[in-house]
Chain A
Amino acid sequence: MLTLSLTFPGGRYHATPWGRHVNEADVAWPPDSWRICRALVAVWHRKLDPQRYPQEHLGRLLSALAGEAPHYRLPAAVHAHTRHYMPVRQKSTLIFDAFARIDADQEVIVCWPNLVLDEAQTELLDVLLEALGYLGRAESWVEAKRLSDWNGELNCCPGESTVDTETGEMVGEPVFLYCPLSQESYASFREHFLQGLAAREIKSKERKPIENTLPENWLNALGLDTADLQAAGWSAPPAAQKRLYQRPIEALRANAASRPRSRLILPADTVRYAVYGKPLPRIEDAVRFGECLRQAAMGRAKRLLGEDAIPSLLSGHGLPVDNRHKHAFFIPESNASGRIDHAIIHIPDGFGVDIRRVLESLDKIKNRDGQEWRLLLEHIGEKSEFGGKVPLLRQAAVWQSVTPYLHPWHRKKNFDVEAQIRRECRERGLPALDWLQPIDEVSVEGRNLCPIDFHRFRRKRGLIQPDTHGSLWQLRFSESIPGILALGFGNHFGLGLFRPLE
């Protein structure tokens, strides 16, 4: 057994297959034995001392290599290319330069399973391999060596088909490689061809170049210049034979990026968008905005995931009874002048890949009149990552209404609004309230807004709404709590929203 190892220190292998134009950007992969033998001829010719290593030795070595079709072990490779224009002003032809991109430390194994070289052949082969600088184009630097013991598994071998007999699946893809003809086969081919050529009545001017590409000496035929072969009209080198090989289906992938790239997805429960549009909605329309935001998210989820696959944490539908406020909050965030310039979607239980995809792609919302605002994703992550930059997400003990609180239960004796707030906080697992007091108005850039200035109704009909008036409050908890704090009727859509007091 003779085994060679080829590594490509530049990470690239350039070689155009026979019969293909360079601009087809195909790559002859793996390096066939025709190319390897010719590379060895070139090395002998250019780098070796002919006195020390006479041509007959080279002939014997190559004849041995040509006697058998090699098998291969191929590493992962990607079929890549670069492009450039020829710098000629009148005719700027587009040129493709294709190559296989391989890892520099991965080796291509070429193995002749039944070949045993004698001592002189082995010595010459070692010298030739050591001096081999490139294989294919000059850019594909190569380091080649003979391996004395290698017993790995081969994955590219000559053969008709590779079908898994158990599963019936194709496990290889067919590829034609060129191998040199043996000396005897070449001699007999040449004889027949020249006889045929003589029988055809063609002018000597046409016959001569063809005859020149069929030298009597096999080694000379192996070393013929490709340009001469092409000029004589050969569609394949006369001293080579085409062999069908089966290589692994993924041996030369078109690109690696088509595989899903592993992406580190950090846990997230909150996403914040900047809102663009003229005019920006007013904070008085917070609940309208919240509903539009939900509608936009639902629409996007329907498109991306399908109508039947909308996550319940996003829709709020079909959740277990105990998940009362763990689904999505659609919260408008206003600036100092009372205009909504940011939007927050917060899901306290955190969200997975599907919801993340929906929220990442959300880029606009519309209201019922067709007015449109653009959403620009600012950050997606855990609530704590937003830090102090987002007021609604800060930590505080004292909180004040931004939008009116609408009590969710009917008022009864001993169950007034204050009692309802206390109960709600208790049910949400918030710390005890030290005190709470109603306030008449909230001020927004010189304007004082009282509850009835706000829109206080959901679009969804049939909802029980014990409170239609609303009230504004200041709350103080026994310890500081992180936002978002939203209580009461419509709290998932921006009603009953509180902000921390400085």
Chain B
Amino acid sequence: MSIDFSALQSAPRLLIEADLQPLQGARFQPTGFPDLGAAVYDGPNGNRLLLVESAQSMANRLETVCWNSVADDWVEPLKNLPLVKVVDKQGKPLTNTVLEAHRLNSPYILEGKDTSVFDMLKKELADMDEGAVDIRKLAAVVLKYDCNALLHGIFLAKSQLAGGRLRLPRVLSAFIEAEDVNLAQSGGVKNDHVNPSGDTAKGFGNVPYSRDDYTAPKITAYFNIDLAQIRGFGLGQNVEQLLISLALYKIRRFLDEGLRLRTACDLEVRQLTLTRPKSWMLPECADLESALPGLIEKTGQENRFAEPRVTVVRWEKGAEKKKKAEDGSEAEE
């Protein structure tokens, strides 16, 4: 079944809510740090809310589901999308823009000895050094090398690139929140039956621990696709459709197989609701899978992607900047 994008042509945004529940039992473990615990806060009507997954973390998860780490390539339907791969001195894969937290702005791409991508960006974005940033031009360049970054936003925080003013906001943002939560405290002991009183700092000995899980009658994943921003990139209908399909594919894949957020937080979808625009039908994963290769092909024919699609950067640590104190002493000499 082909996807009908006509209803989305005037809609400003696409909002999706997924009602989630723990796969087994009632408890789940939210995001949190040992010293801080989980992010619990109050809702306006007095019920306790809990941030299960933040917008930043969700962006990473939505990217991870698109990557086949065994084949070191996009998953099948996304093959031939452009990206930047980083290899080490021996030519072995190190990382890439899909997996890097800051995408094209990754230090492995812009801070190494191999400045090919950096120089390329500098050249292509040279006319933005002065005056307002041309968002359409920036979007076209980002699409060319790292189209994934168009969805998740990018901030080229380098002064040589238009004074660090080049940034694109998130088009696809998401978070998971639980409502009316209750704490489920538990604990246990890591037993050392050889030497219970061994040095715990070195991993020996019995170590008691405590853990906080939560229960909640309502866990919701919220997704927001800024359609007006996608149109605002001014990259033509094919790219618009490609970006919408890619965003929806990420969401579908995440809900289908990316919901094991942590060992003790494995969720499943109870219900999926498209809240805006209400009249539209959310395409199935299979529809997206069959539509995406065609859209990638069409966009490629418009010469909007870099050729070859994969830009390779060799990672070799760049020269370290000298510390200020040393600079001072040299100056004195």
Q: Which residues of A contact B (CB under 8 A)?
A: 9-11, 43, 45-49, 75-78, 80-85, 94, 101-103, 106, 130-134, 138-139, 141, 143, 225, 253, 255-257, 259, 261
Contacts and interface: CB of A to CB of B under 8 A. Distances in A.
A45 B173 contact: no
A82 B41 contact: yes
B170 A138 contact: yes
Given A11-B177, A131-B12, 19 more contacts: A9-B15, A9-B276, A10-B224, A45-B135, A49-B234, A78-B43, A84-B54, A85-B36, A101-B41, A101-B43, A103-B43, A106-B44, A133-B169, A139-B173, A143-B13, A143-B276, A253-B42, A257-B46, A259-B46
A169 B55 CA distance: 42
Contacts of A225: 165
Nearest to B231: A47
A374 B163 CA distance: 68
Interface in B42-82: 42-49, 51, 54-55
Nearest to B42: A256
A131 B45 contact: no
Interface in B160-175: 165, 169-170, 173, 175
B153 interface: yes
Contacts of A10: 175, 222, 224
Contacts of A49: 234
B325 to A, nearest CB: 17
Given A9-B222, A133-B13, A261-B46, A84 B153 contact: no
Contact of A257 (B12, B42, B135, B226): B42
Contact of B229 (A46, A77, A83, A101): A46
A138 B173 contact: yes
A468 to B, nearest CB: 51
Contacts of A80: 41-42, 49
B140 interface: no
Contact of B36 (A83, A102, A133, A141): A83
B275 A138 contact: no
Contact of B224 (A46, A83, A130, A141): A141
B132 A45 contact: yes
6 contacts: A45-B132, A85-B35, A101-B43, A103-B45, A139-B175, A143-B13
Interface of B: 12-13, 15, 33, 35-36, 39, 41-49, 51, 54-55, 132, 135, 153, 165, 169-170, 173, 175, 177, 222, 224, 226, 228-229, 231-232, 234, 275-276
A423 B177 CA distance: 65
Contacts of B232: 46-48, 131
Contacts of A11: 43, 177
A80 B46 CA distance: 12
A82 B224 contact: no
A42 B35 CA distance: 38
Nearest to B15: A9
Contacts of A9: 15, 222, 224, 275-276
Nearest to A144: B12
Identify the interface centre among B36, B135, B153, B226: most chain A CB within 10 Å of its CB. B226
A134 B170 CA distance: 10
B55 A139 contact: yes
Nearest to B55: A139
A456 B69 CA distance: 80
A78 B55 contact: no
Given A85-B36, A101-B49, A133 B222 contact: no
A138 B44 contact: no
Contacts of B224: 9-10, 133, 141
B108 to A, nearest CB: 16
B73 to A, nearest CB: 27
Contact of A138 (B12, B15, B45, B153): B153
B46 A256 contact: yes
Contacts of B12: 130-133
Nearest to A14: B55
Contacts of A76: 44-45
Nearest to B228: A131
A256 B15 contact: no
B50 to A, nearest CB: 10
Contact of A81 (B41, B43, B44, B170): B41
A9 B220 CA distance: 12
Contact of B54 (A43, A82, A85, A102): A82
Contacts of A84: 33, 36, 54
B36 A77 contact: no
A502 to B, nearest CB: 38
A225 B46 CA distance: 37
A82 B48 CA distance: 13
A141 B44 contact: no
Contact of A133 (B35, B42, B228): B228
